Amino acid sequence: MTRLQELLLALLAAALILFVAWSVPWLRFVLTIALAKGLAVLGILLLLRAGQVSFGHALYLAFAAYAVAFLSTLVPEALVLLPIAAIGAALLGLVVGLFVSRYREIFFGMLNLALSMVFYSVLEKFYSLTHGTDGIRLPPLRFAGQSLTPEAQGWVVLVLALVLSLGFGALVRVYLASPMGQALSGIKTREARLEFMGVSARRVLLSAYVLAALMAGCGGAVIAMTSRHVTPALAYWTASGELVFIAILGGAGSVFGPFLGAVAYELTRVYAAALVADAWQMILGGVLLLVILFAPGGLWGLGRAALAKRRAA
């Protein structure tokens, strides 16, 4: 696909999301959460290009969500809270990345998982500060100095999530096409060759890791503003598993994959839970098995293959 075609497809997808949210108002919340998770999964896509999987990526999502929750009583302006939370997640990613970027494969994934679970335990045990599993309820926020009704706030956060998704999607697209992005792919295939060329594989992976943490932080801030309630469950290992699930479901072949997978995941979960309340996890697991067996490239790869066959015919 050319860049113009990708731009048109992205704008069409954004318009479709807005139309669906307008047609079915209760889906506005679901779609906003899906876009927020898509931002976090976009970071996982970067790490997958290097052949690494983070099983604790929800750490940064939860960190940013709690940053918004803690600071909202002092700074109730959403457009200030979001960048603060995102930059905080990026700084945490830098600190953690300096350590985990030394490792590869299962060690990389499990170290991320361990650190995420440590953060989860802190959130759960320090009840006097975090309210434990009860979580923290956010006060009403202002947007550009304006106090909005709940419905108007829902629309503003959805549009904000769309803008962030389009912006970071374009940034990652450019990043992957740059020499740094090409070097990131080299870590997966020929890391030793990168080092012989004078390119530090650790520095390349660290830069991608910090960018991934930044995007997850934006996603976490959006989730906090949407649900207005944060709990330690955001940092639990199952939350990180959801992100990896979405990455596989959507496909890592394009920046569209994370968002396509996130929307499909959230819609499947909502409708499966409504239809079969006691077995929705089984339905999600079945969907994942079908994707792995019959569409290794995820939903995005499946769509591209179908389009290619149609053109060939």
- Residue 175: pLDDT band with limits 50, 70, 90: very high
Domain-embedded: residue 263 = no
Give residue-wise pLDDT tens across range 4-49. Answer: 888 888 899 999 999 999 999 999 999 999 999 999 999 999 999 8
Domain-embedded: residue 48 = yes
Q: What is the domain extent for residue 92?
A: 17-236
- Residue 283: pLDDT band with limits 50, 70, 90: confident
Give residue-wise pLDDT tens across range 64-123. Answer: 999 999 999 998 899 999 999 999 999 999 999 999 998 888 999 999 999 999 999 999
What is the predicted pLDDT for the residue at 227?
92
DSSP string, the chain: --HHHHHHHHHHHHHHHHHHHHHSTTHHHHHHHHHHHHHHHHHHHHHHHTT---TTTHHHHHHHHHHHHHHTTT--BHHHHHHHHHHHHHHHHHHHHHHHTT--HHHHHHHHHHHHHHHHHHHHH-HHHH-GGG-EEPPP-EETTEE--HHHHHHHHHHHHHHHHHHHHHHHHHHHHSHHHHHHHHHHHHHHHHHHTT--HHHHHHHHHHHHHHHHHHHHHHHHHHHSEE-GGGGSHHHHHHHHHHHHHH-SSSTHHHHHHHHHHHHHHHHHHHH-TTSHHHHHHHHHHHHHHH-TTHHHHHHHHHHHHHHH-
What is the predicted pLDDT for the residue at 110?
92
- Who wins on pLDDT, 285 or 131? 131
Does residue 286 have a pLDDT over 90? Answer: no
Does residue 214 have a pLDDT over 90? Answer: yes
DSSP string, 1-23: --HHHHHHHHHHHHHHHHHHHHH
Domain-embedded: residue 168 = yes
Give residue-wise pLDDT tens across range 221-250. Answer: 999 999 999 999 999 998 999 999 899 888
Domain-embedded: residue 259 = no
Domain-embedded: residue 266 = no
Q: 42 near 172, Cβ under 8 Å?
A: yes
Domain-embedded: residue 220 = yes
Q: What is the mean pLDDT of residues 175-195?
A: 84
Domain-embedded: residue 206 = yes
- Who wins on pLDDT, 199 or 78? 78
Does residue 188 have a pLDDT over 90? Answer: no
Q: 243 near 44, Cβ under 8 Å?
A: yes
Q: What domain count does the chain have?
A: 1
Domain-embedded: residue 112 = yes
- Residue 291: pLDDT band with limits 50, 70, 90: confident
What is the predicted pLDDT for the residue at 170?
92
What is the predicted pLDDT for the residue at 254?
82
Mean pLDDT of the chain: 89
* Percent of the chain scoring above 70 in pLDDT: 97
Instruction: Report the 10 Å Cβ neighbour count for 79.
Output: 13
Q: Exposure of 238 by Cβ count < 10 A (0-12 exposed, 13-18 middle, 19+ buried)?
A: exposed
What is the predicted pLDDT for the residue at 309?
73
d(CA 313, CA 310): 5
What is the predicted pLDDT for the residue at 225?
95
